Structure 1
Amino acid sequence: MIDLLQDQLAHIDADQTWLVGVSGGRDSVCLLDLLVRAGFSNLVVVHVNHQLRGEESAGDAKFVEQLARHHGVDFYSESVDVQQLASIQQKGLELAARETRHEVFAQAMAKYDAAGVLLGHHADDQAETVLYNLLRGSNGLKGMRFENAVKVSGISLMFLRPMLTIRRSDIDAYVNEHGLAYREDASNAEGFTARNRLRKEVMPLLTDIMKREVVPQINTAAESSMEQADFFTNEVSLESFLDPQGRVFLPALSEAHIALQQSILFQYLKVQGVPELSRSVVMSGLEICDSSAPAKVNLPGGNWLRRKEQRLFVQRA
């Protein structure tokens, strides 16, 4: 298994301090074991108790703490009532949980002066993410990246996913071979969430229909789509479409090809911190570029995209 990760781990300085997100499930437990065996000596295990499963969630936190001690690495944990937080902030549970994890990672990053966060997402997770994003209306086939940065509370979080090309079956084999203990999240076996149904129902059905594994094909298509998106991002500077106040200058935007317009507006909204971006959000934003159209459109997160004096800008709620 370590051999499969050689290329990915070669890009990560093992002597730096790294946070490792560990839920207690088999994927993150496997990643932690692999990193220790690969010689990463300055690891900090980070666990977030979302308080969604009562005593089971508390048991996960205790298990991860003991796991960190077993490996002789530091442990950082926070407990947050995500259900209550989502209700107060009027956000979806999944979004509130992700933002909570990011906040905890940011706190741990500041405390330990870490280089970044290592996560246990794998190839099957990637395929499920691509399908989920596609069905939500993503602008292209979008999945997770080996490396991406997120700014949280003024702190730049660098996320790395060393196992993103590794199949779930390889992880299962490694866990069994080394007798690794892990916590099974009972909610993963339930079919009431969209992601769980994609995992439990859709992916096996697609495999049966195609009479072959579909994960590699889905991920290859997503990689190609993201490479094209990267081309637009790298070839065209967002700054060249902004005025001195950081607003999108409509005369410049209107002269660009529609594909570039989509890329520019997507980049702008992402920089502005607009969550849950999709093709429909971007296209709705482009519609208000027409002076005869309404001058405001709703954005995810409760804000608006406004048109005023030949400029586009995000108006905060």
Structure 2
Amino acid sequence: MSLTPDHFDSQPAELLRSGRPVLAGISGGRDSMALLSLLSGMEGCRVIACHVHHGLRPEADEEAQFVREYAASAGVPCVWRRADVAGMAHVQGISTEEAARKTRQNLFLEWAAEYPGALVALAHHRNDQQETALLHLCRGASGIHGMSPVSIWANGLTVVRPLLNFSRKEITAYLEEKNIPWREDASNQSTEYTRNALRHHVVPRLNEIFRRDTSLSFSRACRIENQIRTALAQALEAMDLTDPQGRLYLPGVNRLPQELKQCAVHHYLRQQSVPDLTEAAVLRVMKILDADGPSRTSLPGGKMAVRKEKRLFVKDAPPQINKGEPRPADTAGGI
């Protein structure tokens, strides 16, 4: 498949061509540089390059300068910000990866305030989708689901991922054909992190065993799973299980069959942006639905679920004290 805007899925393409400002996350890496090139040449697309300097690697200064200079050469507006990700992780008692993700989402929300009606564009591709699905599957995070071409963040921003149907190999070929430069993040080669270990060891072995590009199969499976999840979410929304404050109303939830009750809890926790959501975490929350059970439980990402006055809600947990920093979360595609 040719890597052109004409081959984007119809829903993201329609949004990108709508004339709304498009805040494109540009790290300077391979995938985001392809995204910037494609969007800058896309008819009707008002792209703004958005770069976050995480302050975590020595080469971050050079990468920020590279993105600014390339955007200027392409005639694309560029906004960027330096952030103290390590400081946030320490103060909030969360992983560096989770702090980076929170930082990016907060900055996109600030930038969106400067560009009314803006949506966010991210450069996740088909191989990212496979790695994400494998992570969810192996962690017990409710099956083989991945990222959607269009989704809504908890802060209300619309997010599009127009490259989900394209492979890393196709993106590299596009960059080489167009003579577009990019910067390699050396940490991507380290197998210390789970996602990188899957990328460098597990996925190549799967391709070798099945003698084909298995990312295509994962892409199809994720697309079907996302359709099922969308239908289930629409059914749960129609049940009106939350109160005006957005808390889960437990008398209504407890009337549901057990399987649907668990789905309702899982759906609510995802709406509250609980990261790395596993079956074990959902089952812990299920225990506090009972008035005779515990009234709160911990959740990933420095959050906790609380039962109060027949309502369930999620809030930030108190900061950890005198504890080592958790292992990075290897979250999907970085945002």
**Structure 2 CA distance for partners of 1:181 and 1:49, relative to 1, 3 Å:** same
1:38 aligns with 2:69: no
**Structure 2 CA distance for partners of 1:145 and 1:41, relative to 1, 3 Å:** closer
Q: Distance in 1 between matches of 2:74 and 2:45?
A: 10
In structure 1, the residue matched to 2:322 is: none
Q: Distance in 1 between matches of 2:19 and 2:246?
A: 39
**Structure 2 CA distance for partners of 1:15 and 1:87, relative to 1, 3 Å:** same
Q: CA deviation at 1:11?
A: 4.3
In structure 2, the residue matched to 1:192 is: 192
Q: CA deviation at 1:59?
A: 0.5
**Structure 2 CA distance for partners of 1:288 and 1:13, relative to 1, 3 Å:** same
Equivalenced residues, count = 313
Superposed, 1:200-215 pairs within 5 Å as 200-215=200-215
5+ residue gaps, structure 2: 318-335
Q: CA deviation at 1:188?
A: 1.0
Q: CA deviation at 1:41?
A: 5.3
| Residue type at the aligned position of 1:77 | W
| Residue type at the aligned position of 1:148 | S
In structure 2, the residue matched to 1:26 is: 30
8 A contact 2:93–2:302 mirrored in 1: no
8 A contact 1:19–1:114 mirrored in 2: no
The structure 2 residue matched to 1:120, chosen from 123, 135, 140, is 123
8 A contact 2:56–2:85 mirrored in 1: yes
In structure 1, the residue matched to 2:112 is: 109
**Structure 2 CA distance for partners of 1:194 and 1:105, relative to 1, 3 Å:** same
In structure 2, the residue matched to 1:260 is: 260
Q: Distance in 1 between matches of 2:86 and 2:119?
A: 27
Q: Distance in 1 between matches of 2:293 and 2:238?
A: 24
In structure 2, the residue matched to 1:5 is: 8
In structure 2, the residue matched to 1:226 is: 226
Q: CA deviation at 1:239?
A: 5.8
Indicate the larger mover: 35-44 or 56-65: 35-44
| Residue type at the aligned position of 2:282 | V
| Runs of 4+ off more than 3 Å | 242-251, 270-276, 290-293, 301-304, 306-317
| Residue type at the aligned position of 1:46 | C
8 A contact 2:247–2:312 mirrored in 1: yes
Q: Distance in 1 between matches of 2:48 and 2:233?
A: 34
8 A contact 1:238–1:268 mirrored in 2: no
| Residue type at the aligned position of 1:281 | A
5+ residue gaps, structure 1: none
8 A contact 2:98–2:301 mirrored in 1: no
**Structure 2 CA distance for partners of 1:58 and 1:316, relative to 1, 3 Å:** closer
8 A contact 1:14–1:39 mirrored in 2: no
Partner SS state of residue 227, structure 1: helix
Q: CA deviation at 1:266?
A: 2.0
Q: Distance in 2 between matches of 1:109 and 1:244?
A: 26
8 A contact 2:23–2:47 mirrored in 1: yes
| Residue type at the aligned position of 1:208 | E
State the TM-score, normalized to the length of structure 1. 0.90
In structure 2, the residue matched to 1:73 is: 76
Q: Distance in 2 between matches of 1:70 and 1:245?
A: 47
The structure 2 residue matched to 1:96, chosen from 93, 96, 99, is 99
The C-alpha deviation readout for 1:81-107, integer Å capped at 9, x for no partner, is 212321222111111111111111111
Q: Distance in 1 between matches of 2:316 and 2:169?
A: 45
Superposed, 1:293-312 pairs within 5 Å as 293-308=293-308, 310-312=310-312
Indicate the larger mover: 231-240 or 114-123: 231-240
Q: Distance in 2 between matches of 1:69 and 1:258?
A: 56
In structure 2, the residue matched to 1:148 is: 151
Give RMSD over aligned pairs: 2.2
Partner SS state of residue 240, structure 2: helix
8 A contact 2:304–2:314 mirrored in 1: yes
In structure 2, the residue matched to 1:157 is: 157
How high is the sequence identity, in percent, across the aligned residues?
35
In structure 1, the residue matched to 2:182 is: 182
Q: Distance in 2 between matches of 1:141 and 1:195?
A: 15
Indicate the larger mover: 303-312 or 181-190: 303-312
Q: Distance in 2 between matches of 1:163 and 1:260?
A: 33
**Structure 2 CA distance for partners of 1:294 and 1:170, relative to 1, 3 Å:** same
Q: CA deviation at 1:117?
A: 1.0
